[in-house]
Amino acid sequence: MRRVAWPLALALLAFPLTAAPASATTATTAAAEFNVRDYGATGNGSTNDDDAVDRAINAASAAPGGIVVFPSGNYRARTIHLKSNVTIRLDSGATVRAASSGMDAPEPNAFDDYQDFGHSHFNNSLFVGRGVTNVHFAGAGSIDGDGNLSTSNSPPSGAGNKAIALTECANVSITGITIRRGGHFMALLNGCHDILIDNLKTVYAENGVRDGINLINSWNVVLQNSRIEASDDAVALKSDFALGHTYTSQNVRVRDTTIYSHENNAMQFGSETCGNFRDIRFDNITVLGAGKAGIGMVSMDGAIIEDVHYTNVTLTKTTTPIFMKIGERKRCPGSPPAGRIRNIHLTNVTGRELTAPEPSGTTGGPELTSTITGTPAVDIGPDITLDGVKLTVPGGHPASDATRVPGEFLTSYPPRDYGTRPAFGIWARHVQGLSVKGEMRVDENDNRPAFIVDDGSGIQLDVIAQRGSGSAYDVGVSGISGYSVTGANTAGGALRVRATNSTPVPGNPVSLYGEAEAATITAPMQTQQDPAASGGSYVTVAPGNNSQSAAPPTGHATLSFAVPDPGSFKVWARVIAPTTSDDSFWVRADGGSWTNWNTVPLGASWHWAQLPVTYDLSAGTHTVTFAYREDGARLDRVAISSDPSFTPSDGPPPTGSRYEAEEATIAQGVVESNHAGFTGTGFVNGDNAAGPYVEWTVTAAQAGAATLAFRHANGTAVNRPMAVSVNGGAPVTVNFPGTGAWTTWTNATLPAQLNAGANTVRATSTTANGGPNLDHLAVTGP
């Protein structure tokens, strides 16, 4: 036997105590090598070498701290028995291959009713260690089940079913090696702590593989710089009752790793969940495929799962991007009550090509919606946050799928059980304290809403959602106490919210005004001049146009309002209704159903009148549209208010509420008048470049919230965004999509805070296409 110096300062020992074994100390002495060939191993691939390997392990453990060396060769083996203070070093070209028979028999387990066979028995493994400390796998070689490790829940007599099984071990490392065809588990660690898995590779194969790495009842773990492939769950955190007790799984770090699960979950909690989980981090993860969920988390047996963070995760070829569920299987002693999932945070999670790996290997369809669900008795949450989650899903579903109501499935956990969900982006049910900030898009038109949340409380959505051509709404909430929805569709319009038996989060009362002549106006509605009108103009229909039985398809005036806080809004209009034959309009909000406003108080002078409607509006941009019903009725100004005590003033019209672009400060642009429909003397046509701007000076009587409405036209089909800053503050991007023609003027609105007195508002183009043609800036409030 040849002895050489071997450094034992393993990479594990370089990690800070918060992310690595707390009891680890740096060894500075050289370690002895114990070559398995010196103990009788042949490495010829046919002779069983496990007895020789066990002799080398015994010698290395007695050293202690010896290194068992496998030089290049193929080492056929039955069960190899690990001992404390031993490193298994697999040199390049060395492979330990499982024997087809003669593995240790599975030990009896009084608790095997609480988990399946593979989780309950450990002796029938290629490498097995029980209660050992300071055991390490290192080198550039491999472990190969060679098709002889069973993936069955009832393996034949004499067969093994795991490549590595460790129970209640401490100070463990697996670095550098490759594991192939590991049977039911490539590596199963139960009740272990102070673990480093670094630069490990497990290889998927069509046969001889189920789970990748199972960390069961384990703590103080780092898994990093690895590539974990499997057919079943690739990286799974579990807590079963195979040991007759549980440990809290905590202080687990998985980072800088690529993961692939052909048929099941890439990152998974459960389904075995008897004990609790806390303080778990997944950082910088690339998921190349998952037949079930990319990010999977189930509490089926009473576990509390909390303080879990996923940061910088990329998903591809993933059937269900995100799946979180509380169930009631109760497969633990004492029939425990439903568990909890709370304080879960996903940050910067992106996904594309979100279908199952090919061939699918699943029975529930190639793509399924991200799902977050509790039980009718136990909500999932609180403090479930998805921040910067951007998913592009396949889409392609009809609007009829939006009416689906999936079952509860309290005792099962696969995502496919729920079938097609009623939303394409995220479907959540029985949830509290859910916050989502991100984007949901589709590859193919999908007429389901992007989000549906049923039964819960404290829901906050600030999202961009692609809108199906035939979808009825973008966000649905039902049975929600306290919800807030902000954001826009991908074309820049307001999100359409369908709220059923739900109440919005109370916001600060706000009152907003809009000039009728600043609305988007379609013929035969038209603008007329009147010095007594607010802003000097009003809107009416050309004489001879009446539509009393139904709202007309054209002849509309649509105003936009930027609502800073959700609430129930009353609507007022400053009108003239000369006689009973010309005293009505049709009115609707956000493209919804029309209301016949046939109760306009008569009067030949301008006066405010309240409409017989109240609209529940989320925070964001909303529209109120007036259509003609009887000619002669005139519309000057519109106010919406969530203040129950609000009554608009019927005094003289305010001054200085509209600021013409041609009178502002212009950089890299010209004043033109060649496209009809503008107000004032012209409009500003900025250069087609990034950087040109228009800057207005606007006056506010007092400090407070205001709405900025930029009247513009964009005759192209390309969005021409501008960065808008107020008083030199941080710029906010405002989208100016195509309006259909350079003579079609409309408004883009933005909420802003103004100071008392003079304020500057600058709109700067941000792309090579430049900005739109700008007509004027209208300011409402404070």
What does the pLDDT look like over 222-274, one tens digit per residue? 999 999 999 999 999 999 999 999 999 999 999 999 999 999 999 999 999 99
As a whole number of angstroms, the distance between CA 115 and CA 112 comes to: 6
Whether residue 28 has pLDDT greater than 60: no
- Biggest CA–CA distance in the chain, Å, is 113
- 171 closest CA partner among 63, 65, 57, 32: 65
pLDDT computed for residue 650 by the predictor:
62
Average pLDDT over residues 305-309: 97
- 625 closest CA partner among 580, 662, 590, 677: 590
User: Does 57 or 531 have the greater pLDDT score?
Assistant: 57
Instruction: Could you list the beta-strand ranges (E) of 131-263.
Output: 133-139, 142-144, 162-167, 170-175, 178-180, 183-190, 193-198, 201-203, 209-216, 219-224, 227-230, 235-239, 249-261
pLDDT computed for residue 739 by the predictor:
85
Between the alpha carbon of residue 742 and those of residues 560, 624, 674, 676, the distances in Å are: 20, 23, 9, 8
Q: What is the pLDDT of residues 698-746, one digit of tens each?
A: 888 788 888 888 999 999 989 999 999 999 998 999 999 888 889 888 8
Instruction: Set out the domains of the chain in order of their start, with CATH numbers.
Output: 30-261 (2.160.20.10), 511-641 (2.60.120.260), 658-780 (2.60.120.260)
The count of C-alpha atoms lying within 13 angstroms of the C-alpha of 617, restricted to the half-sphere facing its C-beta, is 32
pLDDT computed for residue 500 by the predictor:
93
Whether residue 16 has pLDDT greater than 50: no
Contact 707, 559 (CB under 8 A): no
As a whole number of angstroms, the distance between CA 386 and CA 31 comes to: 48
pLDDT computed for residue 507 by the predictor:
66
As a whole number of angstroms, the distance between CA 122 and CA 129 comes to: 9
pLDDT band at 93 (very low <50, low <70, confident <90, very high): very high
Q: Residue-wise over 181-199: b if at least 16 C-beta within 10 A, else e?
A: bbbbbbbbbbbbbbbbbbb
User: Does 27 or 321 have the greater pLDDT score?
Assistant: 321
pLDDT computed for residue 115 by the predictor:
96
pLDDT band at 413 (very low <50, low <70, confident <90, very high): very high
Q: What is the pLDDT of residues 116-132, one digit of tens each?
A: 999 999 999 999 999 99
CB atoms within 10 A of CB 623: 20
Average pLDDT over residues 189-194: 99
pLDDT band at 86 (very low <50, low <70, confident <90, very high): very high
Whether residue 363 has pLDDT greater than 60: no
Whether residue 361 has pLDDT greater than 80: no
Computed over every residue of the chain, the mean pLDDT equals 91
- 327 closest CA partner among 382, 250, 271: 271
pLDDT band at 5 (very low <50, low <70, confident <90, very high): very low
Reported for 520-524, long-range contacts at CB under 8 A and 24+ positions apart, including other chains, are 520/556, 520/557, 520/558, 520/559, 520/744, 520/745, 520/746, 520/747, 521/556, 521/557, 521/558, 521/745, 522/554, 522/555, 522/556, 523/554, 523/555, 524/554, 524/555, 524/628
Whether residue 214 has pLDDT greater than 50: yes
User: Does 363 or 235 have the greater pLDDT score?
Assistant: 235
As a whole number of angstroms, the distance between CA 324 and CA 298 comes to: 6
Average pLDDT over residues 23-43: 77
Whether residue 586 has pLDDT greater than 70: yes
Which of 385-389, 611-615, 629-633 has the least mean pLDDT?
Answer: 611-615
Between the alpha carbon of residue 667 and those of residues 671, 689, 691, 722, the distances in Å are: 11, 11, 8, 14
Contact 775, 702 (CB under 8 A): no
pTM of the model: 0.69
As a whole number of angstroms, the distance between CA 261 and CA 233 comes to: 6
pLDDT computed for residue 27 by the predictor:
40
Of all residues in the chain, the percent with pLDDT exceeding 90 is: 73
Judging by beta carbons within 10 Å of its beta carbon (0-12, 13-18, 19+), is residue 661 exposed, middle or buried?
Answer: buried
Contacts of 592 (CB under 8 A, 6+ apart): none
pLDDT band at 6 (very low <50, low <70, confident <90, very high): very low
Whether residue 377 has pLDDT greater than 90: yes
CB atoms within 10 A of CB 309: 15
Reading the block at residue 673, the tokens are 């008048």
> DSSP labels for 47-97?
EE-HHHHHHHHHHHHHSSSEEEEE-SEEEEES-EE--SSEEEEE-TTEEEE
Of all residues in the chain, the percent with pLDDT exceeding 70 is: 94
Whether residue 13 has pLDDT greater than 60: no
Average pLDDT over residues 93-112: 97
As a whole number of angstroms, the distance between CA 112 and CA 82 comes to: 24
As a whole number of angstroms, the distance between CA 562 and CA 541 comes to: 26
Whether residue 465 has pLDDT greater than 50: yes
